Amino acid sequence: MSDLPRKAVTRTAKLAALPLGFAGRATWGLGKRIVGESAEIVGRELQQRTAEQLFKVLGELKGGAMKFGQALSVFESALPEEVAGPYRAALTKLQDAAPPMPTRTVHAVLKERLGEDWQELFLEFEDKPAAAASIGQVHRGVWHDGREVAVKVQYPGAGEALLSDLNQLSRFARLLGPLIPGMDIKPLIAELRDRVSEELDYALEAQAQQAHAEEFADDPDVLVPAVVHQCEQVLVTEWIDGIPLSEVIADGTQEQRDRAGQLLARFLFSGPARTGLLHADPHPGNFRLLPGGPDDAEDWRLGVLDFGTVDRLPGGLPTPIGESLRMTLDGEAEAVYELLCAEGFVKESIDLDPEAVLDYLLPIIEPAQLAEFTFTRNWMRSQAARIADPRSPAYQLGKQLNLPPAYLLIHRVTLSTIGVLCQLGATVRLREELEEWLPGFVAEDDEPEESAAEA
């Protein structure tokens, strides 16, 4: 019997209560205003109560509701500060914490999937979970060969819960929209729903993780734990210690923030080039900062977890992304516009001014213009405000652009990563990573020729 509250009527009732709760608190706020409290104080209390209810429900339900909350959490940087404050703590909680399954349920799954004698596979197994997330929770253990391992156990009924939650959330996506100004919530929920079957398949996750583990095995900057064992609903991988990125965001030194940001950008762009796979769930709960040396910040490595959602890109990131970035930086408005039309970003029925498109894109790609760029919440908010303000030309032009399906996941991963970089407040040499890993960003004429020795 599943301990996930997955019966349709129960889950639907919990989620359906959210908009009713929003309305009730708005009425409460109006009452407080009538008796003389300031709009600022009432607004702050209202946002805090809304955040507490929203993320309490999402966390309790796990499933698609929590998956949505985790996806949303990386965009916290885009919120105006007066709104972001009350939401920030609640959003962060969703990045790597949720109410755990009872021990009896965990043991039942392990017995069913690993066999009656499953405990003999482990020298040690901790019943208390080390982490609980949207579709499974992780237990620490020691494998029979002495390796420390992470044992991911899928919640019984997780598939039904994911689909039920996401279908319900999509019905009132417009009510959730104001959480992140300028972001269309409905496509995000639809895309999460489309990925459900992949994320539930631990065999696919094991393949993706092992491919990364082998490719980055000797990498000085990135560590991916190897897969130890996999079967339906259970995935055992090597354990890695380290500082969760959420802690670096909250309390890290500037050196840690900058190093984590640089490595996150490096992994984002180098991963597809090296493995043909894009890690598509870049929220802080999936990364660790690992000390590699006693003093030098450059010795810190990035530990990467959770490969349940990946985009398969056999040729690496699409070359038109690098080409359009390069031509935008060079001010080639006509060439950029032609490429966007050819890739489907501008529909045939729409005619736009190439110079206006260039003006729309340049502020967004500002981090690629400089040798190094400091990502900040203020910068993220300014971009969100520019694109979200109905009075601005950027808002009107943005509504006319199209996002082709092939670029949907790449777009979300890039935005999510930028959101994390802004949460970190990291100074990153992004252009350096683009030149190294993004196809098309460096013109063929500018690429260095092979030396005689290399030839």
Pairing of strands 234-238, 122-125: unpaired
Distance between CA atoms of residues 158 and 136, nearest Å = 8
Distance between CA atoms of residues 135 and 352, nearest Å = 43
Residues 293-317 have a mean pLDDT of: 84
Q: Using CA atoms in the order 208, 213, 219, 223, what is the torsion angle rounded to 10 degrees? A: 100
Phi-psi region of 231 (alpha: psi -120 to 50; beta: other; left: phi over 0): beta
- The pTM (predicted TM-score) of the whole model is 0.78
Of 7-16, 132-141, 232-241, the range with the highest mean pLDDT is 232-241
- Which residues have C-beta within 8 Å of that of residue 444, sequence separation ≥ 6? none
- At 136, the pLDDT band (50, 70, 90 cuts) reads confident
End-to-end CA distance of the chain: 64
Residues 299-321 have a mean pLDDT of: 94
Distance between CA atoms of residues 368 and 390, nearest Å = 27
Domain range list for the chain: 8-96+159-181, 103-158+197-238, 243-447
Contact 77, 381 (CB under 8 A): yes
Distance between CA atoms of residues 165 and 310, nearest Å = 21
The secondary structure element, H or E, covering residue 144 is none
| Paired residues of 235 in beta bridges | 152, 230
Contact 73, 91 (CB under 8 A): yes
The secondary structure element, H or E, covering residue 446 is none
Residues 220-245 have a mean pLDDT of: 96
CB atoms within 10 A of CB 321: 21
Residue 42 has a pLDDT of: 35
Of 411, 74, 405, give the one whose Cα is nearest residue 245. 74
With respect to CATH, is domain 103-158+197-238 assigned 3.40.50.720? no
Residue 344 has a pLDDT of: 93
Residue 73 has a pLDDT of: 56
